[in-house]
Amino acid sequence: MICEMCGKEAPARPMLVEGIKLNLCPDCAKFGDEYKTQGGQPGQPAPGAPPVSRTVIEARLQKREKRMQTRDVYSGSTTLELVDDYGRAIREAREAKGMDLEEFGKSILEKRGILAKIEANDLIPDDKMIAKLEKALGIKLREQVQTGGTIGGARPGGPPTLADFIKKK
């Protein structure tokens, strides 16, 4: 039996929720009232939920799904970003390997001048270059950064929204 409130596979039993009969699992049973079979129809099993309650349940489950997806997306929004002191990290790793810029440049087929600029934080390496440097030096130049920020924040003083327009009418 599937719980019609949360969709979980559980030993659900019929309960009354806002006047609608739903099969609820033990977790959700607290949201419902005791369902009493109405007399006068003995031996006649309910032919599934009526169309209205199905719609209500589906809307509820969809809403719930949406809410969970939004939260997942929000909490999972991390991006890889270049560390601030990438130049120093590269130079230290290179020196630890006992290579000067010339040798290092030759080893990864990059121009010495370019590498010097990167080590001085004067040039931001592109993704390809970052991957190459990370691999050649055995270091990590990127870190996971949480991209938070406000979603649909208020805009005081912004242009009027449709809602404002309707309110004024």
The CA–CA distances, whole Å, from 127 to 82, 107, 131 equal 9, 19, 6
Nearer to Zn ion, 23 or 93 (CB): 23
Shortest reach from residue 11's CB to Zn ion, in Å:
11
Nearer to Zn ion, 28 or 141 (CB): 28
How far is it, in rounded angstroms, from Cα 29 to Cα 3? 9
Judged by the rule CB under 5 A, the positions of this chain that interact with Zn ion are 3, 5-6, 8, 25, 27-28
Which residue, 67 or 88, has its beta carbon nearer to Zn ion?
67
CA dist 39 → 35, 36, 42, 44, 58 (Å): 12, 9, 7, 11, 29
Q: Which residue type does 54 have?
A: R
**Minimal distance, residue 15 CB to Zn ion, in Å:** 10
Cβ closer to Zn ion: 8 or 132?
Answer: 8
**At closest approach, how far in Å is the CB of 156 from Zn ion?**
41
Shortest reach from residue 73's CB to Zn ion, in Å: 24
Dist. CA 83–CA 74, nearest whole Å: 23
Backbone region of residue 80 per phi and psi (left: phi > 0; alpha: psi in -120 to 50; beta: other values): beta
